[in-house]
Amino acid sequence: MKARRATTKIGTRDPLATKAKILDAATREFAMRGYDGARVGEVVKRARCNINLVYHYFGNKEKLFIAVMERAYSRIRLHHKDMELRNADPQDAMRGLIVSTFRMFVDSPETIGLLVSENIHRARHIKNSPLIVSMYDALLDFMRETLDRGVATGVFRSGVDPTDLFISINAEGYFYLSNRHTLGVILHQDFMTEARLRQREAFITDVIMGFLRP
C-alpha cells in the first residue's frame, strides 16, 4: 500500500554493513543506557534496519551485548599493543602508558559505559570469553618489566605491585570520566572541557610518577 522506500530498490542487501551498523548502534545504546536500560528497539532505530535482523544476526539481546563487549575489548587490546612496542626508557614508557590509558577512555567514551554495565552484571559475559580473559597478561608483563628496569636504573622506587599500579592508572582516569556527572554537581565544575581534561591528564601523570619516585 505505502510507497516503497527508495533504499529497497537496489544496492541494499549488504549483510556485513548491516551487521556492522547494528553493532555500532548497539555499542552506543548499551554504553549510554547500560544493559538493562538499553532497548533493542532503539538499536534498530539507530541502525535503520528491521528489528528482526538483530535476532537474525545475533540471536538475542544478551548475545548482542557479548558481541559488543568482545569488539570493545579487542579495541582496547589493540590500543595497548601499540604501547608495548615502544621501548623507550622506563620513565617515558610509564608516562606513555598513563597518558594513553587516559586518552583511550576520553576518545572512546563507550568503553566506560560498557565496563560499568559488565560490572553490574558481575562480569558474567566476559567471563566466558577466553579471548578477553587472556588479553591483559601481556600488558601486565610489560608493566612488570618496565617497573623492574626503572628500579634497576634507580628512577623508580622498589616493591611496587604491578597489579595495584595497573589498577591505579586505570582508576585515575576511569573514575574521573565515569563519575563526571555526580562530580560535576558536588564540585561545581564542568569536567569535560578540553582544558579540564588536559589538567586531569597532567595531574594523573604527576600522581603516578610522583609516587614512583624512589
Partner DNA sequence: CAAACTACTAAGTGAACGCTTAATTAGAAA
Partner DNA sequence: TTTCTAATTAAGCGTTCACTTAGTAGTTTG
d(CA 39, CA 190) in angstroms, rounded, equals 29
Element (H, E) at 196: helix 194-212
Q: Report the nearest approach of a second copy to the CB of residue 126 (Å).
A: 6
49 near DNA, rule: CB under 7 A: yes
In the three-class reduction of DSSP (H, G, I as helix; E, B as strand; rest coil), residue 46 is classed as helix
Integer Cα distance of 173 and 178 in angstroms: 9
H helix runs in 108-193, sequence order? 110-120, 130-133, 137-152, 162-178, 180-187
23 binds DNA (CB under 7 A): no
For cell 532505530, the residue is 45
How far apart, in whole angstroms, are the C-alpha atoms of residue 146 and residue 153?
11
Q: Is 15 in the site for DNA (CB under 7 A)?
A: yes
Total site size for DNA, rule CB under 7 A:
24
Is the Cβ of residue 12 or residue 179 nearer to a second copy in the bound state? 179
- State which of residues 25, 31, 40, 177 lies at the interface with DNA (CB under 7 A): 40
Closest CA to 155 of 110, 212, 205: 212
CB of 179 to DNA, least distance (A): 24
Determine, following the binding rule CB under 7 A, whether residue 50 of this chain makes contact with DNA: yes
Among 11, 130, 154, 214, binds DNA (CB under 7 A): 11
Decide if residue 61 touches DNA (CB under 7 A): yes
Nearer to DNA by C-beta: 32 or 88? 32
Judged by beta carbon distances under 5 to 8 A according to partner kind, the member of DNA, a second copy, none in contact with residue 106 is: none
Does the footprint of DNA cover residue 60 (CB under 7 A)?
Answer: yes
* C-alpha cell, 214: 624512589
Grid coordinates belonging to 212? 614512583
Of residues 11 and 214, the one with the C-beta less far from a second copy: 214
Task: Give me 118's grid cell.
Answer: 559488565
Minimum distance, C-beta of residue 165 to a second copy, in the bound complex (Å) = 8
- DSSP 8-state assignment for residue 126: G
Options 14, 82, 92, 164; binder of DNA; rule CB under 7 A? 14
Q: Which of 25, 26, 38, 72 binds DNA (CB under 7 A)?
A: 38
- Cα separation, 60 vs 69, in Å, equals 14
Q: Which residues bind DNA (CB under 7 A)?
A: 2, 8-15, 18, 38-41, 49-53, 55-56, 60-62
